Each structure stands twice: as structure tokens, then as C-alpha cells.
Amino acid sequence: MVSRLAATGAIVAGMLAAGSAHAQDAAKGEQVFRQCSVCHATEPGVAKLGPSVAGVVGRKAGTEPGFAYSEAMKAYGKVWDKTTLDAYLTSPAAAVPNGKMVFVGLKDATQRADVIAYLETLK
């Protein structure tokens, strides 16, 4: 029984390590981000259909000056970090119901990690 429990723990630890070991390649993330650039600028203060993503990592959601956020996004109240961005990029509608974002999300965890790594470069 103990050995089965230890084996299960080792499997879970391995899965967690594998899940956190996504590439996080900012250059690849920039390539994936091209589909996002239709609606989001990378230059500070430039709003398109969506807000600028310059400096998004570490910023409170719904606070980029000059963009008219939905009430849902303003009420979201979280700071954009790896965890919140990953959840949002997986499914914007699930993360912030009744928000304006119409994008269905990035289902590939490696692509999300890469995009987040790219967003971290946009200070």
C-alpha cells in the first residue's frame, strides 16, 4: 500500500513538473501573438478593438487608460500574472463571463506559455 501511494505521488509530481515545464519561448510567443495583434497593440497607449498589451503583466485587469472595458472586466479585479493570463488565454469567456473578448482561447498550453513569455517582454 505504501509503495503504491509513493508511486502515485511520484506520478503526480512528474505531471506537475511536466505541466510547469512548458517551453516559455518568447520568440515563439511573438509568432503566436500575431493572431492577437489584429485586436491588441504592443505599443503603450494604443487601443484597437482591445487594449494595448504593453505592460500587461503586473497590471490590474481593466485599468489600461484610454480603453472602454466591459463592466465584467472592470469587476474582475485580478492582476495579470502567469496564472491569471493562462486562465484567461485558455478561455476568456470562462475567466471573465460577459466580457467583450470574442476570442475563443488558446487550447495549447505550450502556446499559452510562449505568449505569456512574450507578454512579459513588453514592458
- Residues 24-69: pLDDT tens digits? 999 999 999 999 999 999 999 999 999 999 999 999 999 999 999 9
CA dist., res. 107 & res. 90, Å (int): 6
Residue 22's pLDDT is 58
Supply the mean pLDDT for the chain: 87
For domain 24-121, the CATH superfamily is Cytochrome c-like domain (1.10.760.10)
Specify the long-range contacts of residues 52-56, CB closer than 8 Å, at least 24 apart. Answer: 53/119, 53/122, 54/122, 54/123, 55/122, 55/123, 56/80, 56/85, 56/119, 56/122
pLDDT digits (tens, 9 = 90+) for 93-114: 999 999 999 999 999 999 999 9
Q: How many other C-beta atoms are found inside a 10 Å radius of the C-beta of residue 31?
A: 13
Residue 5's pLDDT is 39
